[in-house]
A and B are shown apart, each in its own frame.
Chain A
């Protein structure tokens, strides 16, 4: 049965007591408001428009969460989440998950996400691979002596070996960075690397009051990795990586 409510885009969930201050426009340039229930509040905006521009909406989603997180602890909801209306937000998300959401929010209160990414300089990395792997060096020599077409399979094999060497280094460097930083965080996650030159991508949940201590550990890690890996240290972020839970609620009655 269709409902009268217009659809709503959902950005995140926070405790009802935290009044977020969101000045940024929402998805499809709509006004951002809250739908409150069971001591919780969902950050939403009405979605009237069918004209969604992917690039613009990703940016809107990001800005709304950045804004709201300045004054409140917000559990970010996965980008692109749209519900049937305010009622659905209350009855199908907040109500059945109230306990779990409250628990998660309590756990995240006063904590921030900090991301530490490491990137290789590709050329330096490849050099190191050739220098340290006799197998790679030998195959490289062989490939260089024949034409591209004659050496096709050797070239694939060479690339495979190089890729495996890089994967091994990634694993080592990720483990090292994790070992150095994890002790200063409440929680940590290694995330999938999304670029060719990525060494590692780590997300940490850190007490707001411990950011300096964590920052010192980052500084030491940067020294330790020296020029092999370039570190990028970003934050504080809404705890995207620590809100990764499926809210499985029952099938909607009208579905």
Chain B
């Protein structure tokens, strides 16, 4: 959480330093793009950025929303229901876990602990496997193997 300090009338907020999880999207999506003619792409890694997308408008999403809305216990008396109760009914219903999308999975894998070398390797090899079936492989790779 950002540290908020009172100063005079309002809050003066200080940003908290970023963790990898905060910036994973910008790292994958933003930054200077060097022309494709010049760069040798890390194809396996670029595929990762595609995996990191979630499809917002899909039937699955709609059904999930419908389910979540249906799960809400909204009656006339509803407004008086306590928050703790609501929280409980939400979490026990399992709706929370279903809201975890593919993106969070990818993010967890990326921004997880430092010592998960095994995971790293697995991910890397699977990316490479997929990349080899993709479009023309990088020039460098063919050069190295020749």
Binding site for B on A (CB under 8 A): 2, 7, 10, 12-13, 50-59, 61-62, 66, 75-84, 88, 92-93, 114-115, 117, 122-123, 126-127, 129-131, 136-137, 140, 143-144, 155-160, 162-163, 166, 191-192, 194-197, 201, 203, 211-212, 215-216, 218-220, 222-223, 231-237, 240-241, 243-252, 255
Contacts and interface: CB of A to CB of B under 8 A. Distances in A.
Interface in B1-17: 1-2, 4, 7, 10-17
Interface string B53-93: 01011010111111111101010000000000011001000
A96 B120 CA distance: 36
B74 A127 contact: yes
B2 A54 contact: no
A156 B61 CA distance: 9
Contact of B45 (A13, A57, A194, A247): A57
**What 7 A-B pairs are tightest by C-beta distance, nearest first?**
A159-B62, A219-B11, A53-B120, A159-B65, A235-B15, A78-B31, A159-B66
Contacts of A247: 32-35
A196 B64 CA distance: 11
Given A77-B32, A123-B90, A222-B11, A237 B74 contact: no
A245 B42 CA distance: 19
A53 B37 CA distance: 24
Contact of B69 (A77, A114, A136): A136
B18 A235 contact: yes
Interface string B100-138: 010110000111101011011101100100000000001
